[in-house]
Amino acid sequence: MTGILAGLRIVEGSAFIAAPLGGMTLAQLGADVIRFDDIQGGLDSDRWPVTKDGRSIYWAGLNKGKRSIAVDLRNPKGRELLTALITAPGEGAGIFSTNMPARGWLSYEELSKKRADLIALNIVGTRDGSAQVDYTVNAITGFPLVTGPVGHEGPVNAVAPPWDLATAYAGAMAILAAERHRRLTGHGQRIVLPLQDMALAATSALGYLGEAAINEVDRPRFGNEIFGTFGRDFRTRDGRYVMICIFSDRHVDALAAAGGFAEAFAAIESRTGHDLKTDAGRWNARAELCAVIEPWVAARTADEVGTALKKAGALWSPYLTFRELLQDKDAVQENPLFTVIDQPGIGRYPVAATPLQFGAVPREAPQPAPKLGQHTDEILSGILGLPDHEIARLHDEKVIAGPC
Amino acid sequence: MTGILAGLRIVEGSAFIAAPLGGMTLAQLGADVIRFDDIQGGLDSDRWPVTKDGRSIYWAGLNKGKRSIAVDLRNPKGRELLTALITAPGEGAGIFSTNMPARGWLSYEELSKKRADLIALNIVGTRDGSAQVDYTVNAITGFPLVTGPVGHEGPVNAVAPPWDLATAYAGAMAILAAERHRRLTGHGQRIVLPLQDMALAATSALGYLGEAAINEVDRPRFGNEIFGTFGRDFRTRDGRYVMICIFSDRHVDALAAAGGFAEAFAAIESRTGHDLKTDAGRWNARAELCAVIEPWVAARTADEVGTALKKAGALWSPYLTFRELLQDKDAVQENPLFTVIDQPGIGRYPVAATPLQFGAVPREAPQPAPKLGQHTDEILSGILGLPDHEIARLHDEKVIAGPC
């Protein structure tokens, strides 16, 4: 291990996105992250998308670079093994992350009896412990009712799950904060992170609750427009879409240069009195800006539009499908973030490393996700010091399992 | 300071969401986070939403609990002061976070001349340093073309910015990872985090690139349905919407109990051969499930539906507007996450603390965002040790500014 987090060991009992992605984030930075699952697999072991023969591409994406141990979670002997693993000695060990119900043997109270300075991150649904997922949390945030086309009735759900992503990275951060605290004081602790509170805190940070409270308005749907400045999608002659934004003076000038809009923009300013160098001016003149830009984009191919915007240094981007993104040279094919790896049972495809570049250590290439139980024996031997005959007996008794 | 990150000091040169929210995350955990801005304010100082008299609710939301210093960034003397501040001695100090162009005096090379063990997080647009925002990054991820109603033509943008959120929390985590490394080795470092790479790494983690590569399909739009299991919105008799999901066996049974669907679900299983206790079975039988649930919801009020689902322990949630969320007892009004604070110039409203609950320290109530330059004098005096007459001279020369 040569990553920035070399020396840390996290034991993870997890499923779905938030907890697994938090652990993977630490694994891709060099921590030894051990995910345990029941010998039957976790709740997410078959989660879609899957390959034609049913292997979970989803699971492979969210568990890269971890080690896997498979244990019968209903067997008291299996629970004892995992308790020993979670609470094993070592300066950088004794860290547990879970979004399973942290009750009974998995509770902080029980586990910390075996290691007093244990750090345990419990990701829960709501603060009172009831189940929630990104989709149910998102429904109450208010965002689905302002997302989607103007005139659409009803909610529009997010596909990229914002609250799972936030919880994953904030949870990983919390583990490092607690590990710092332990290093300074010697004390471990339990950390509780409710997915719902994560979403509510972010919604508060983004100003939506403040706007509702102070201005006493429910913001309407603005479709693809960026509220409070200028930005939206445009359709090209060849039926493609581009996103064009203005966030600063420089972007106004660049966009004007790209399309030859300088005179038209000046005319908008003098006709409407809106100053395009301000957020408010751009927002209030957005229909007029659109009337200038839309026909220019519509008369050109995506290539022509992109070339002009790029040359002028405008703030823009094409819309891509997932397959187009996969083939995109700059974003994927020639991006050092990606490495083509062989994911056993699934195949060879480009997979991302951590997006973080630490100057002190080289970025590690992404590693495949483990097979279920791939590291059962080496973990029991290497960390718990179990002799081979004992491991063999545990296999015979079906307390543990290796890879199928 | 009693938070879990007490003793850390981060100096931040930032605007918009990712860098400010990352800093605020650390501030709400007890770090001393000092945001510097030009005496004219930052690019985001007037960002919408704003109050009726133009005060930015957005800025207030993203900069809570920080200290503010206002300096003329074009004045060499101002730059000297900030360089001294960023590189000031102290074990937990010497940490800089920015999404400004980290060139010239703000480059790692220049700053680390004054403090060799400096940690600097540079959030950039793309890996080659060109500008990007959440909206342009999102366009290439593929998500906008699969978000929104089935049959809709063209992209649907996210309103909650997933990549800014991810970058904020991953950036905060990276600072703690580098601080750990510095404590262990004595070495500082530069960290580069491209917003675009963050989005691409998450898109890869979530399996979308793997699906495109291995199955060679572009996933179509599925509207509000959760791909690969059962979940979607339903409209109640009184015109409200609820999200209902199934992620496990338990959720199937709970939903069946709530609506009296046990027989109907069994009939679906025997008629179609799909096992509703599997992800694939639920997904493939989603039209049949919908045909059972939809009329039940449509015949009842939101209150009736919610009461039944809650009682049965189903996985569900109502959709709320921002104003409804603000008034919601459980989520906001009686949630200890929120405290009503007085944000100077804006007013009193409920504001979120950190969603993280660390067992070792009490959660700190949220603090207001500072006024621009509110702490200029105390920072120059307290950290740089400047005498009062020197600070007065800097004010006279308009190198620095206090609050207006």
Looking at residue B2, what is its pLDDT? 83
β-strand B119-124 against B95-98: which pairing, if any? Answer: parallel
* Segment B137-151 mean pLDDT: 97
Q: Is B104 on the interface with A (CB under 8 A)?
A: no
Mark yes or no for CB contact B165/A160 under 8 Å: no
Determine the Cα–Cα distance for residues A288 and A265; give it in Å rounded to an integer: 9
> Number of CB pairs < 8 Å for A and B?
516
User: Cα separations (Å) of B238 from A78, B86, B292, B305, B315?
Assistant: 51, 57, 19, 11, 21
Looking at residue A394, what is its pLDDT? 98
Each of the 404 residues of chain A gets a pLDDT tens digit; together they read 589 999 999 999 999 999 999 999 999 999 999 999 999 999 999 999 999 999 999 999 999 999 999 999 999 999 999 999 999 999 999 999 999 999 999 999 999 999 999 999 999 999 999 999 999 999 999 999 999 999 999 999 999 999 999 999 999 999 999 999 999 999 999 999 999 999 999 999 999 999 999 999 989 999 999 999 999 999 999 999 999 999 999 999 999 999 999 999 999 999 999 999 999 999 999 999 999 999 999 999 999 999 999 999 999 999 999 999 999 999 999 999 999 999 999 999 999 999 999 999 999 999 999 999 999 999 999 999 999 999 999 999 999 999 87
A344 — phi, psi (to 5°)?
-50, 130
Determine the Cα–Cα distance for residues A276 and A255; give it in Å rounded to an integer: 12
Mark yes or no for CB contact A355/B140 under 8 Å: no
Question: Beta partners for B358?
Answer: A191
Q: Is A257 on the interface with B (CB under 8 A)?
A: no
A238's tokens: 């060849």
Determine the Cα–Cα distance for residues B349 and B323; give it in Å rounded to an integer: 12
A chain contacts of residue B335, beta-carbon cutoff 8 Å = 127, 197, 200
Q: Is A299 on the interface with B (CB under 8 A)?
A: no
Q: Is A68 on the interface with B (CB under 8 A)?
A: no
β-strand A347-352 against A338-343: which pairing, if any? Answer: antiparallel
B392 contacts B70 by C-beta, under 8 angstroms: no
Please give the positions of B annotated as active site. 164
Stated pTM of the model: 0.98
CA dihedral A322, A308, B161, B200 (to 10 degrees): 40
The DSSP 8-state label assigned to residue B56 in this structure reads B
What contacts A355, CB < 8 A, 6 or more positions away? Answer: A337, B170, B193, B194, B197, B198, B200, B201
Token pair 């429910």 in the structure block, residue: A218
Up-side HSE of residue B149: CA atoms within 13 Å toward CB? 14
Over residues B364-391, the pLDDT tens digits come to: 999 999 999 999 999 999 999 999 999 9
CA angle A282, A226, A230 (to 5 degrees): 25
Q: Is B134 on the interface with A (CB under 8 A)?
A: no
Determine the Cα–Cα distance for residues B293 and B315; give it in Å rounded to an integer: 14
In B, minimum Cα distance to A357 occurs at B192
B chain contacts of residue A62, beta-carbon cutoff 8 Å = 205-207
Q: H-type helices in B186-277, by residue range?
A: 195-205, 208-214, 249-259, 262-272
- A positions 173-232 inside 8 Å of B (CB): 173-174, 176-181, 183-185, 187, 189-194, 196-198, 200-219, 223-224, 226-229, 231
Determine the Cα–Cα distance for residues B104 and B116; give it in Å rounded to an integer: 17
Specify the DSSP element, H or E, that contains A290: helix A286-298
Q: Is B322 on the interface with A (CB under 8 A)?
A: yes
Determine the Cα–Cα distance for residues A158 and A144; give it in Å rounded to an integer: 7
User: Cα separations (Å) of B257 from A54, A147, B230, B253, B254?
Assistant: 30, 32, 16, 6, 5
Q: How confident is the model at residue B289 (pLDDT cuts 50, 70, 90)?
A: very high
Determine the Cα–Cα distance for residues B261 and B244; give it in Å rounded to an integer: 14
β-strand B241-246 against B230-235: which pairing, if any? Answer: antiparallel
Q: At what angle do helices B162-185 and B195-205 cross, to 10 degrees?
A: 100
A241 contacts A179 by C-beta, under 8 angstroms: no
Sign of CA dihedral B73, B78, B79, B81: negative
A361 contacts A368 by C-beta, under 8 angstroms: no
Mark yes or no for CB contact B205/A352 under 8 Å: yes
Following DSSP, what letter does each residue of B118-166 receive, concatenated? -EEEEEESSTT-----HHHHHHHHSGGGTSSSTT--S----SS-HHHHH
Mark yes or no for CB contact A4/B132 under 8 Å: no
What distance in Å separates residue A242's CA from the closest CA in chain B? 8
User: Cα separations (Å) of B303 from A54, B240, B256, B308, B317?
Assistant: 40, 10, 18, 9, 12
Terminal-to-terminal C-alpha distance of chain A:
27
Over residues B24-69, the pLDDT tens digits come to: 999 999 999 999 999 999 999 999 999 999 999 999 999 999 999 9
B233 contacts B161 by C-beta, under 8 angstroms: no
B chain contacts of residue A116, beta-carbon cutoff 8 Å = none
B chain contacts of residue A7, beta-carbon cutoff 8 Å = 184
B178 contacts B172 by C-beta, under 8 angstroms: no
B400 contacts B72 by C-beta, under 8 angstroms: yes
Mark yes or no for CB contact A61/B331 under 8 Å: no
List A38, A72, A164, A377, catalytic entry? A164
Mark yes or no for CB contact A356/B193 under 8 Å: yes
The DSSP 8-state label assigned to residue A332 in this structure reads I
User: Cα separations (Å) of A257 from A247, A260, B109, B219?
Assistant: 16, 5, 34, 37
A291's tokens: 């009337």
B353 contacts B365 by C-beta, under 8 angstroms: yes
Over residues B100-118, the pLDDT tens digits come to: 999 999 999 999 999 999 9
Q: Which amino acid, residue B43?
A: L
B chain contacts of residue A180, beta-carbon cutoff 8 Å = 4-5, 176, 179-180, 183
